[in-house]
Amino acid sequence: MKKFSALAVLDFSDIPAGVYAVDSILKKAPIAFIRAGTVTRGRYLVLFGGSTAATAESLEAALAVSGDAIIDHSFLPDVHHSLSEAVFGERRMAGGALLVVETATASSIVRAVEAALKGTPVELIEIRLSDAGLAGKGVAFLAGTLPDVEAAAAFAAAGTGDPILGFRCRLIASPHESLERAVAGSTQFDHAQLLELDGEAG
């Protein structure tokens, strides 16, 4: 995929409005890519990017025709390279303390993660945008040294938006090795591997 500098995310409550907005986005400016479709809770998610100017113009066009059908949106004019890879499914292996972040929308999780990555040297393991089982939420997993992960939690909370809606996080200072393996594999239940442990079997 082409390199891109800017990223925009829009969460729609209204599927027809989302499709209509995609048409406006495509007609407005020469963006580099777009990905759109239905997600959980009957929402429509749109992700696109390219140059900062083209992405900003296309986002303005989408906002102009969408009214109150947009639940949330984000514009990252200089998106962090790890986030730009992770939104398309790239995963990284990372050890150390673990931070799990949840937000109410896909747009707010990219804002939170962007702030954490730019404010600290933590690694982004995975980000999920309103996929199956999330009920429209966003979830991210980050790892690093304990001080860096503690700082990342604060940056993520501040970056989510004002007021902070639906932001939840937990920090695990020293995760069990089985949990680390599970998170590194997949955090979706239907893709998760069975972990056979040493406990008693009934």
Helix and strand totals (H; E) in the chain: 6, 8
E strands of the chain, at which residues? 6-12, 33-39, 43-50, 70-76, 97-103, 123-129, 138-144, 168-172
pLDDT tens profile 54-69: 999 999 999 999 999 9
**The CATH number of the domain covering residues in 86-186:** 3.30.70.1710
Q: Which DSSP symbol is given to 167?
A: -
pLDDT tens profile 12-55: 999 999 999 999 999 999 999 999 999 998 999 999 999 999 99
| 10 pLDDT more than 60 | yes
Prediction pTM value: 0.92
Answer whether 6-76 and 86-186 agree in fold.
yes
Distance (Å, whole) CA 188 – CA 110: 19
pLDDT tens profile 145-174: 999 999 999 999 999 876 666 899 999 999
Fold of 6-76: Alpha-Beta Plaits (3.30.70)
* Percentage of the chain exceeding pLDDT 90: 74
The whole-number average pLDDT for the span 167-194 is: 89
| 1 pLDDT more than 60 | no
Which among 107, 71, 97, 100 has a CA at the least distance from the CA of 174? 97
Torsion angles phi and psi, residue 8, rounded to 5: -125, 145
Residue positions counted in the chain: 202
| Annotated domain spans of the chain | 6-76, 86-186
CB contact at 8 A, 129 and 84:
no
